[in-house]
Amino acid sequence: MATKKVTKNTHFQPNPLAVLIALACIAAAVGGVWWGAVRMPLDGPLKVLAMILIVLVALLVCFASGMRLILELYSKGVWATPEEQVMPFPGDDLVKDPKGKKILRVRQARDLDAPLGEVWKHVYQMDPTKGGMYAWSNCERLFGMNVDNAYSLEEMWQGEDACKPGDFWAWSYSGFGAEVADLVPNKYITWFADTRDTVRTPGASYMMAPGLKYCIWYWTIALKPLDGGKRCRIYSCYDIAYGPHNPLNYLIQKLVIFDGGAMMGRRAFRNLELSARVERRKSIPLRIQGALLGRSHGDDPRLHKRIAYPELRWAREFPRVESQRAPITDDPNWPPKDGEDYVPPIAENNEKCGWSPEKKVENDRKAAEKEAALLEKLGMK
């Protein structure tokens, strides 16, 4: 296996106070469980009930504190520079909080020692039902995500028709995911979800926790050429608007999408780099599993060591991004020139695509007709 080559991250600045608070919370949670088991002045059923409550609270505290430690000590290792934290990115225009509340924002970036063209091929086939998410498949499956990571290019996932605006990513077994909004070859891809204006893909759903009235978010993976494209800088950007704003909803969005997404983002950067250099092997847990459980014989074992790994094309005719604007498939403004801010070509693209606000009504009609036809075919209408 190739020697690990790490790009220096000059802006890795964990917050020492946050780290100390997280460690103190974990220690307090463990101490609380010990106190309940050994020193609690209760007996019988009351003690059992109290211990159950203490353990549940301790688990929540440990999980939240552990995620904070991961964010500070690992995920921030690819935090974007202060300038990149405030610069505009593709997809920014899609998310605005309807109540004017503050959104959660993540900006990660890393220089990859791999050609931009090869990295893009892997970004293009990122999809739970294709090349995977390039992060930790075992961790993702633990949280109900139906993800396998291929780490190798597949011809049928590389064609011009393999991915289009309107295609839905079903990240979880329950159908939770997002829809492709913008796709500009060799530059960026944006996924988008809005629970107030949901996609029509059959079985699609969103991560709507109890008490959450709306959740709007986008995720962009963008590439910027370095050294004439021999290397590249990769960005992972997402904004999350949710409501109502209260501590519980904040905690859920922060732990799952913000902290969890940032952790997976850093891992994806490394795996995309290694995959583009054809140096990524199966994960260690998969190799251990294969060694313990065995495999069928008759194939080349070199391929087994390398390769780690159904979909509806429903909404290409009426992508949900057209509720706001036309999908962007060509963008001469990205990446921006040095010293200039990125300006998305929204007006020009709308004019080129013949988009108008009436497009939403037309798309809703098309989607309703297609949905009704499928229900009738299934004998459900």
Q: Which two tokens stand for residue 224?
A: 């910027």
Rounded CA gap, 99 and 90, in Å?
Answer: 23
Cβ distance 363 to 322 under 8 Å?
yes
| Closest C-alpha to 368, from 200, 158, 119 | 200
pLDDT at 71 over 60: yes
Identify any residues that bridge with 194 across adjacent strands, giving them in sequence order. 216
User: What is the per-residue pLDDT for 172?
Assistant: 74
What average pLDDT does range 171-184 have in this prediction? 85
pLDDT at 273 over 80: yes
Q: From the centroid of its chain, how far is CA 223?
A: 16
Confidence of residue 4 (pLDDT cuts 50, 70, 90): very low
Q: Which has more confidence, 288 or 158?
A: 158
Confidence of residue 282 (pLDDT cuts 50, 70, 90): confident
What average pLDDT does range 194-217 have in this prediction? 83
What average pLDDT does range 59-81 have in this prediction? 94
Q: Quick: pLDDT tens for 20-63.
A: 999 999 999 999 999 999 999 988 899 999 999 999 999 999 99
The crossing angle, in degrees rounded to 10, of helices 16-38 and 44-73 is: 160
**pTM score:** 0.88
pLDDT at 3 over 70: no
pLDDT at 236 over 90: yes
User: What is the per-residue pLDDT for 1?
Assistant: 36
Q: Quick: pLDDT tens for 86-135.
A: 999 999 999 999 999 999 999 999 999 999 999 999 999 998 888 888 98
> Of 155-164, 352-361, 370-379, which gets the smallest average pLDDT?
370-379
- What mean pLDDT is reported for the chain? 88
> Of 92-101, 105-114, 276-285, 355-364, which gets the smallest average pLDDT?
276-285
| Closest C-alpha to 324, from 190, 212, 168, 229 | 190
Length of the chain: 381
Q: Quick: pLDDT tens for 295-336.
A: 666 666 666 666 655 445 678 889 999 999 999 999 999 999
Confidence of residue 290 (pLDDT cuts 50, 70, 90): confident
Q: Are strands 231-243 and 214-226 parallel, antiparallel or unpaired?
A: antiparallel
